[in-house]
A and B are shown apart, each in its own frame.
Chain A
Amino acid sequence: MTQARARAYGLLSRLLLSGGDIDPDMAAHFVDGEVDPEDAATRYVATFDLGVPPYASTFLAEDGRVGGERTTRIADEIARDGFLPITDEVAACHLGVLLGHMYALVATGRDGRAREFARDHIASWITPLASAVAAIDDGLWSAVVAMVADLSLDDATNAPDGDGPADQPPPHPLLDDASGLRDVAEFLAKPARCGLFLTDAECARIGRAYDLPRGFGHRRARIETQLGSAAEYGRVGDLATAWLELVDRRDAALRETEDDAPSLRRLQSAWRARLQTTREMLETLREGARRAMTQQAAG
């Protein structure tokens, strides 16, 4: 079974590092029916290159940037385990690299260390990633990431507490009277603060629903554009409601995980606490928008 587990990690790693250029035989384990390689490659780009970057730092680093302290820490740990991450094209905190390392740890019989690594660097952010991926793709790639989530949570189940997101989430910006829309956008662009990765696809869909521009530039700028447009056109309440629905969907996924892996409840609770903070912020925003609308109607 150890060999099978190692192979599983190896296969998942290869898929995630493939850039979408896959062998259909590899995909057959995840979806029913034949997989069109061209389609898989297109969806890979949409899901990971344009959608949600599969990097631990994106979810766990305070600034959400790859290549910082979190990346370095992971690279150091891999090296200290006696392996050398090949990081020519992707950073050490890429999910494919992390799975490759799991392959190496499991294959060399270092089960304890594998569990610890799975808990600290994969299980600690895989559920928010899986939810975000599921929001973009309903085929091969969401199945692959879901399987990564299952495997890593299963491995992390018996690991002691470790290096996940802090239990207490940071406060949301609307608690500070001086905050503005830019601060809200900044908050929503950082999964480590808001608890979810707001994908461009979701933003686009919401934009279409409420006739709001999806904006351009980097993600925070796009969120800010959408929020600013909503404020300008009186759609903040709708936008907040739409985002609240996303929060609820993400929360449901986390609740499910809590049931699947009760021992990781603390980890999931930390993410759920962030979603709760975001929920409170969005409700405050919606309430503010409602009052503003009321005042506008009265005045």
Chain B
Amino acid sequence: MSDLASRVANFLGKMIGRGDESPVIGKTETNAGGEALPTFSETTVPPERLTHVVHPDGRMSTYPPPEVWDHWREWDSKAWPRKVARNYTLVPTICFNCESACGLLAYVDKTTYEIKKFEGNPVHPGSRGRNCAKGPATHNQIYDPERILYPLKRVGERGEGKWKRVSWDEVLEDVGARMRESRKRRRDGIMYHVGRPGEDHYTNRCITAWGVDGHNSHTNICSAGARAGYTFWAGIDRPSPDHANARAILLISSHLETGHYFNPHAQRIIEGKLDGAKLVTMDPRLSNTASRSDVWLPTWPGSESTILLAIASYLIRRRTYNREFVRRWVDWETFMKWAPKTPDMPELPVGDGTFEDFERCLETLYGQFTFERAAEESQVPIERIVETAKIVEDAGDRLAAHTWRSASIGNLGGWQVARCLFFLNVLTGSVGTRGGTGLNAWNKFVPKPFKQPPPFNAWNELQLPHEWPLAFFEMSFLLPHFLEEERGEIDVYFTRVYNPMWINPDGFMWLQALQDEKKIKFHVALTPTWNESAWFADYVLPMGHAGERHDVMSQETHAGQWIGFRQPVRRVAMERAGKKVQFTYEANPGEVWEENEFWVEVSGRMDPDGSLGVRQWFESNERPGELVTQDEYWGWIFDHSVPGLPEAAAAEDLTPLQYMRKYGCFEVKAENYLPYEQLVSEGGVEIDGVRRKGFETPSGKLELYSETLKDWGWPEIEYVLPWTLQSHVHPDHIARDKGEMLLLPNFRLPTLIHTRSANAKWLYEISHNNPVWMHVSDAQRLGVESGDLVRVETEIGFFIDKVWVTEGIKPGIIAMSHHLGRWRLQESSGGSPGMTALAKLEEDGDEHRLHIVKGGSAWKTFDPDTSRIWWKDVGVHQNLTHGVHPDPISGAHCWLQRAVNVRKAAAGERHGDVQVDTRKSMAVYRKWLAMTRSAMDHSPDGTRRPYWLKRPLKPVKEAYRLPNLRDDEEQAS
């Protein structure tokens, strides 16, 4: 041994016994930090100049002009007063923190490929350069110290929290093999359960290619009620108001317009208001939107339909509705045919069945909905309702109206709220007009996919069981209850950006299901963050945030069409610099991947020799036999499926893919009004002797009377027509004199986004707790003040939370935001210590307890901000205590809860503690199940569901046949 070697060996020998040195310099990985970037020299070169954009509301912003996005230079603000130049390549992408698909611009450092920040993309037609707080906070999520960076495989018992790092290749082999085995045996064994899709078509195409009925979504805890209400009118399940040009804006609740979800709407509402529009908001809570409204209607939940029908009655009585529009576009003939035969229908003046007779029938029918009745049921002063009616009347065909969650998802029969709201659009003729309310299919652009596989021949009863033939869509939140009833089991369960145990009601039922390896045999969590459900997975696979993945996305932000392109921005920056990247995980932090490449590769492993018929749909057009790349896939889409894009690209001497990589979006149509009036030569509907495109209902017109509901077992007046349905939280069902209250558990905060907020420090600093809102009078009755603990008992359990006493909530109602209350089971894993509480799960038979050991706390990482966490209260996980309330028609979980007892917490009751009895869970489930009318008993044609109703993935028609009938036929043959 040389002298040098022996000196070194001697020194290293001393080090063996020494403890590990704490991180010194640069121990942190690239996902860590982002702020402590390398030193740069001073420069004399000035930064690039910003371009000024004047917004429609008159405000002005500055942005980097697109022509310098490839070589953007600005001075490093942290180096001030030195003038240190930083060179960036700006890569556009699409936000992934809600479904609005706003444009983001990533500033990628040309030297390090680190992302400095995310700002707005000024050329994006929907968001127009402006973002809510969640857009820039994408940076927090990417550089989150607690991020999952590598694929993890469970090595202990499920939920034990023992993981080992594995390679992507190992994951692909194992998952692909399990999918293959399941697919060989059955077509309903693989389930993809998506929380946040954040993309249009790609994954649905993959599931179709697998040939399984495997799409499950979160829709029934979100928008099912509104979807049903709009669909029964028009065949399209979502509204698209043109707020900017409206004369009146009528909102049921506020969460979209406050910016949780649809910052583009918020912008346009302000523009509309600046242009003179009146804003009316129905919400029992004084939300941000309500506080800025011209009229606030603090309705008792479930009474919204009564107010809407009182306004409708006012228009009908005064004949101030748009008679010509109603005559042409409402299917009043069907009404005249069936309405008189409807059970409990009052005597109608049907006369000769003319339109004028129809008008008289309407007046007779809706005359019972007076302002007095509306005021009494809603507990809102009558003057405000009258004022609203006048505003709607004055708006004419410029009424922009919107409901999505809130009352539609809160109440039993909430779908009728959406239907009654759209009734006002129909009466005012403001359907698809300038300043009116369009439908999302008109304004959301979804391109035709690359190689469309044929529909599958399968029906998964765990998703759309026969009891809910009209559901919108899969009965996803009942999955654990169905598994408990042994309706089936799942071979391969993918959760994707989804935390079902935390976000759904009755979370302890989910806990039982996720732990049971006989029911959920194999659980793969595809997630950008740790979450409570992933803790019980077999694989936890890290997937990218906005700026780390490819997707296309569009939304109905206004009366126009556009398409946005989400991109892995570091990969794009590296490719711009000439570096080769095969898979996106090579460019993302650690080995964070994107689903799109993962699906292609895992599908290839699922069917390596093509014998299952799956592989062909994932092969490249240009390289036969090889799997398709993202460049090839999107290149094809942009070449073939986006009208006008190839021409726009050619004008800049770019390919369509290059154009989308450069700008991140493309405006397909600047304006899209009255599309149903379009003349067609085939299909459509004849209006006054002229064939027009019409609507997507069986009649092609707007269906006031729903034959579908009549035919499928719901013939009563309150179902076949826009009507009121008594909510499960109607005042008759809340014994306030016995201390019962209504718990409104699902309002949103504009700065948070479910599970992923807890990985964004800026967002959590703004909002991190969810106290119980309580009116002053109720607080006095209970003897509590702000900050005191209260115990809220529901049908299945109770939780303890702090109270916030306010005038901004209706007496008798308590309200909580549903974003907060995240927890983890290990001190150093499973969530951020500053944003989740350390918890302990306790089980005693059917009794489950969540006991909070420690609230949020500061912790040390590479990021100095984690040691600056100043809050402890990270909210309470109230959803665990919610019994499931599946609406018998829409299938929506009716979120509003009957709080059977609310009182000041006793000694020993601790903040955040939750207790639930899952025997009661099943009892509540069965009570609601009993309200359903099964397709087995009511299907008019032996099918499971009306074929014309949407499903995210439609199987072949044959799969719609109910199984018993098919068996009978087989026996007969």
Contacts and interface: CB of A to CB of B under 8 A. Distances in A.
B416 to A, nearest CB: 56
Given A17-B25, A97-B26, A103-B27, A84 B39 contact: no
B15 A5 contact: yes
Given A17-B24, A83-B30, A107-B27, A1 B12 contact: yes
A179 interface: no
Contacts of A81: 26
A67 B113 CA distance: 20
Contact of A11 (B15, B29, B33, B114): B15
Nearest to A152: B8
Interface in B11-64: 11-16, 18, 20-22, 24-30, 32-34, 36-42
Contact of B112 (A3, A80, A107, A259): A80
Contacts of B11: 8, 29, 147, 150-151
Contact of A150 (B8, B18, B28, B32): B8
Contact of B38 (A1, A78, A103): A78
Contacts of A68: 41
A45 interface: no
A290 interface: no
B972 to A, nearest CB: 68
B38 A10 contact: no
Given A76-B38, A84-B33, A4 B16 contact: yes
Given A68-B41, A79-B112, A101-B26, A260 B14 contact: no
B111 interface: yes
Interface string A1-30: 101111111110110010000000000010
B2 interface: yes
Contacts of B30: 79, 82-84
B571 to A, nearest CB: 15
Interface stretch (A33-41, A87-95, A204-212, A246-254): A87-95
A100 B225 CA distance: 58
A14 B38 CA distance: 19
A85 B14 CA distance: 27
B39 A91 contact: yes
B3 A11 contact: no
A116 B622 CA distance: 41
Interface string B102-114: 0000000001111
Nearest to A155: B8
Contact of A104 (B15, B27, B39, B113): B27
A239 interface: no
A76 B36 CA distance: 12
A78 B29 CA distance: 10
Interface of B (DSSP majority class)? loop
Q: How large is the interface on B (under 10, 10 to 19, 20 to 34, 35 or more residues)?
A: 35 or more
Nearest to A85: B26
Contacts of A75: 37-40
Contacts of B111: 72, 76, 79
Nearest to A2: B12
Contacts of A29: 11, 14-15
B162 interface: no
Nearest to B84: A67
B39 A71 contact: yes
Contacts of A1: 12, 16
A84 B20 CA distance: 20
B7 interface: yes
Interface string A109-147: 000000000000000000000000000000000000001
Interface residues of A, number: 50
A86 interface: yes
Contacts of A147: 7, 11
A13 B37 CA distance: 19
Contact of A99 (B18, B24, B39): B24
A8 B2 contact: no
A191 B22 CA distance: 34
B37 A11 contact: no
Contacts of B112: 76, 79-80
A8 B15 contact: yes
Contacts of B651: none
- Most chain A beta-carbon neighbours within 10 Å: one of B2, B25, B28, B111: B25
- Most chain A beta-carbon neighbours within 10 Å: one of B20, B38, B41, B862: B38
A265 to B, nearest CB: 13
A87 B36 contact: yes
A11 B16 CA distance: 12
B5 interface: yes
Given A8-B15, A83-B30, A103 B8 contact: no
Interface string A222-249: 0000000000000000000000000000
A153 interface: yes
Contacts of A71: 39, 41
B20 A260 contact: no
A4 B38 contact: no
Contacts of B39: 67, 71-72, 75, 85, 87, 91-92
B930 interface: no
Nearest to B589: A82
B25 A101 contact: yes
Contacts of B8: 150-151, 154
Nearest to B29: A82
Contacts of A97: 25-26
B25 A100 contact: yes
A86 B4 contact: no
B24 A13 contact: yes
Given A8-B12, A76-B112, A79-B112, A100 B27 contact: yes
A261 interface: yes
A232 B18 CA distance: 57
Contact of B862 (A10, A80, A84, A107): A84
A11 B18 contact: yes
Nearest to B10: A150
A83 B38 CA distance: 10
A15 B13 CA distance: 19
B629 to A, nearest CB: 25
A10 B37 contact: no
B422 to A, nearest CB: 53
A92 B38 CA distance: 7
Given A29-B11, A150-B7, A87 B29 contact: no
Contacts of B24: 9-10, 13-14, 17, 96, 99-100, 103-104
B585 to A, nearest CB: 13
Nearest to B32: A84
A103 B14 contact: no
A135 B14 CA distance: 27
Nearest to A153: B4
B937 to A, nearest CB: 62
A3 B15 CA distance: 8
Contacts of A83: 26-30
Contacts of A107: 27
A81 B38 CA distance: 12
Given A8-B15, A101-B26, A72 B36 contact: no
A153 B7 CA distance: 11
B25 A260 contact: no
A79 B30 CA distance: 8
29 contacts: A3-B16, A7-B15, A7-B20, A13-B24, A17-B24, A29-B14, A67-B41, A68-B41, A82-B29, A82-B30, A83-B28, A83-B29, A84-B26, A85-B25, A86-B25, A86-B36, A87-B36, A87-B37, A87-B38, A91-B39, A96-B25, A97-B25, A100-B27, A103-B27, A104-B24, A150-B7, A151-B11, A154-B5, A260-B4
Given A6-B21, A259-B3, 13 more contacts: A9-B24, A11-B15, A69-B41, A79-B30, A82-B30, A83-B28, A84-B37, A85-B25, A87-B36, A91-B39, A92-B38, A100-B26, A150-B11
Interface of B: 2-5, 7-8, 11-16, 18, 20-22, 24-30, 32-34, 36-42, 111-114, 862
Closest 6 CB pairs between A and B?
A: A100-B25, A75-B38, A10-B21, A83-B26, A260-B4, A79-B112
